């Protein structure tokens, strides 16, 4: 079985459901309910892969504090290899506060902490992690210069390089050339390419994907929320219809989509079929509250009707 490594963030998240977001001057806002759970795009993606039966390991950075130890225990609980998680003694484990209003809109305050503590002292450890895996999934939510260096190394080592472009930042051309699979929404595409014009229409999405492939990206997947996703590999541009759901909550749709897309590729499934299943996985995640609980197994998807 091919091994997948995830290099990214790990956090403890506090989610508060409020009627309206606090405004400047508000001294008190009532939350209907509160929930603490384990977040971070990297950690959630690793769990999503594990729940799909993928042999997956996590590489990130945290402190040996209560939150850090709890994150590791949660990853182990979900069968994610944690042997290569690094420790930082100067910055606390990352945390986020997520406010969700009555319209199901989210406002997130992130304290990245040790997620941004990668430096030159960590290069050898992360390179060793990359060497041990066949495919590497990166995000942009830890210090980008370090991530860019590791993307370059992974490509040199012949690994299948995936970049899930959350939360979005400019990516230099020389790094884009090293990416085998790029997953991004339209806003992230704008940031990656450094364009000021909004990418909205299908033609604009197609032109952006073509530009990325011309630069050297192997395959481009553009997530389109309720409109499904688009795919381009230099040959044919395709739009894959969404899997519609009746009940929608905030959950790990992005991570579920990314995990299923990666699984489909390493399993050598037809890409358009894999993306259709990834849309289904994302839809499943939107029907169940929470992060890990919302991530589907293969069996969950077989019986899922929306």
Predicted local confidence at residue 250, as pLDDT: 65
Looking at every residue in the chain, the average pLDDT score rounds to 94
Task: Let me know: does 154 contact 126? Beta carbons within 8 Å.
Answer: no
Q: Average of pLDDT values for 15-34?
A: 86
pLDDT tens column, 225-268: 999 999 999 999 999 999 988 767 667 999 999 999 999 999 99
The pairing of beta strand 3-7 with beta strand 55-59:
parallel
> What pLDDT is attached to residue 245?
87
Over 70: is that where the pLDDT of 15 sits? yes
For the chain, report the end-to-end CA distance as a whole number of angstroms. 31
Upper half-sphere CA count for residue 172 (Cβ side, 13 Å): 9
35-44 per-position pLDDT tens digit: 899 999 999 9
How much is the pTM?
0.94
Sorting pLDDT into bands at 50, 70 and 90, what band is 51?
A: very high
Half-sphere exposure of 147 (CA within 13 A, CB side): 32
213 confidence band (pLDDT: 50, 70, 90): very high
Under DSSP, the state recorded for 116 is G
Domains plus CATH for the chain? Answer: 3-9+41-93+113-303 (3.40.1190.20)
For residue 23, what are its two tokens? 């405004």
What is the rounded distance in angstroms from the CA atom of residue 239 to the CA atom of residue 297?
25
Average pLDDT over residues 2-13: 97
In this predicted model, what pLDDT tens digit does every residue of 135-168 receive, in sequence order?
999 999 999 999 999 999 999 999 999 999 999 9
Q: Please report the DSSP string for 84-98 in residue order.
A: T-EE-SSSPPEEEEE
């Amino acid at each position: 079985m091919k091994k997948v490594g995830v290099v990214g963030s790990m956090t403890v998240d506090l989610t508060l459901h409020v009627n309206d977001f606090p405004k400047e001057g508000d001294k008190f806002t009532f939350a209907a309910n509160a929930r603490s759970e384990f977040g971070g795009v990297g950690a959630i993606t690793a769990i999503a892969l594990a729940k799909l039966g993928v042999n997956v390991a996590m590489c990130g950075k945290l402190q040996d504090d209560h939150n850090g130890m709890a994150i590791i225990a949660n990853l182990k609980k979900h069968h994610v290899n944690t042997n290569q998680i690094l420790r930082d003694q100067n910055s606390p484990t990352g945390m986020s506060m997520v406010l969700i209003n009555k319209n199901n809109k989210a406002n997130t305050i992130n304290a990245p902490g040790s997620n941004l503590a990668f430096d030159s002292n960590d290069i050898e450890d992360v390179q060793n992690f990359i060497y041990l895996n066949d495919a590497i999934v990166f995000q942009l939510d830890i210090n980008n210069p370090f991530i860019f260096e590791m993307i370059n190394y992974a490509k040199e080592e012949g690994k299948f390089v995936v970049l899930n472009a959350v939360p979005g930042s400019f990516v230099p051309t020389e790094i884009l050339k090293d990416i085998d699979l790029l997953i991004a929404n339209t806003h992230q595409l704008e940031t990656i390419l450094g364009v000021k014009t909004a990418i909205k229409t299908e033609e604009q999405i197609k032109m952006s994907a073509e530009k990325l492939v011309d630069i050297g990206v192997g395959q481009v997947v553009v997530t389109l929320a309720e409109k499904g996703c688009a795919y381009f590999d230099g040959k044919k541009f395709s739009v894959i219809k969404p899997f519609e759901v009746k009940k929608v909550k905030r959950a790990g749709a992005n991570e579920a989509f990314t995990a299923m897309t990666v699984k489909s590729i390493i399993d050598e499934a037809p890409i358009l079929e894999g993306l259709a299943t990834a849309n289904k996985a994302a839809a499943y995640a939107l029907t169940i509250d929470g992060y890990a609980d919302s991530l589907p197994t293969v069996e969950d998807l077989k019986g899922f009707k929306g």
